[in-house]
Amino acid sequence: MDTNTYKNIVTVIRKHKGLSKDCMSILTEIFPNIKSDTLYSIVSLEYQKRMKMNHIKSQTNINKYWDLYQQAVKNRQSPGIILKIAEQFDICPCLIAKLILQKYFEDLNLIEQINNYLRDTSLIPDAELSYEVFLCTVYDNLYSPLSETMKHSLGQEYEIKLHNEVRKLNLAFRDEEQLRKYGYDKTPDVKLDVPVAIDGFVINWIESKALFGDEEVHREYTRNQYLSYWNRFGPGLVIYWFGFPKSILQTDDKRFIIKDHLPTDMVHINYTG
């Protein structure tokens, strides 16, 4: 992705205060030519950074959130109370809901079960609170149990997509499960049995990421994963399926190349044993 376009998207996100769902609606209107998966991934990454800062403050404000919730219930405000608190304090709804549940169950010694109540809100004894938390799981497209399941499913979907595309190219390879049988703890999604060349760069492995690879994400994955792959298997290919800013590209990097798809114009290397 063009660096200026990426910066413009990030600017819109950082100026928006409130629910990520509303931010997505704004972005799709402003950037109609950018895929929704790409926009969602950038929103998710930016909100995660924001939540890391805001969540520290929110832990100290737990009593304030609880008092605001109780007062709103007492005043018979319409449903969506926790959503309004989340929007007011710029915290994702499910994170606020967890804090309010933590306060609600404080005297019942059930804090360890809060995630279970978030997954199945019908288990919450208080009917009003149950519905309020349910609304949070519906409107929070980043931290709800459903969104977490969807992220995991999306990652698996693109791993399967990679495997299928590699097979179509008639490339012999081993996947993570097969590599772990050989004792490797950190493994790429695909380890090629015979290297191939892409744009003159020889690759031995391919890693699939179903997200947008911003600079922070790329730096973290490089440190925690890619360098290990390079040390063990040599140079490889990293695919950020939802794009990346051009600023992360380093033309002189001999460890791996970065793409947003699997190139088909590969040069096969003859292997004689």
The whole-number pLDDT of residue 267 equals 87
Between CA 96 and CA 81 the distance in angstroms is 11
Quick check: 196 and 267 in contact, CB under 8 A?
A: yes
Alpha carbons within 13 angstroms on the beta-carbon side of residue 44 total 21
Other beta carbons less than 10 A from residue 185's beta carbon: 7
CB atoms near residue 102 (< 10 Å): 16
Question: Dihedrals φ, ψ of 241, to 5°?
Answer: -60, -30
Task: Specify the 3-state DSSP secondary structure of 217.
Answer: helix
What is the CA angle 159-252-184, rounded to 5?
Answer: 40
CB 66 within 8 A of CB 126: no
Place of tokens 């998710």: 44
DSSP-assigned letter for residue 270: P
**pLDDT per residue of the chain (273 residues) written in tens, 0 to 9:** 988 999 999 999 999 988 898 999 999 999 999 999 999 999 999 998 888 877 666 667 888 999 999 999 999 999 999 999 999 988 899 999 999 998 888 756 566 688 889 999 999 999 999 999 999 999 998 999 888 888 889 989 999 999 999 999 999 998 888 888 777 777 899 999 999 999 889 999 999 999 999 999 999 999 999 999 999 999 999 999 999 999 999 878 889 999 999 998 888 876 554
pLDDT the model gives residue 54: 72
* 8 Å CB contact between 59 and 102: no
Q: Name the burial class of residue 225, with classes exposed (0-12), middle (13-18) and buried (19+) by CB atoms within 10 angstroms of its CB.
A: middle
H or E element at residue 201: strand 201-209
pLDDT at 173: 92
Q: What pLDDT, on the 0 to 100 scale, is given for residue 256?
A: 94
Query: pTM of the entire structure?
Result: 0.84
159 phi/psi in degrees, rounded to 5: -65, -45
pLDDT at 55: 65
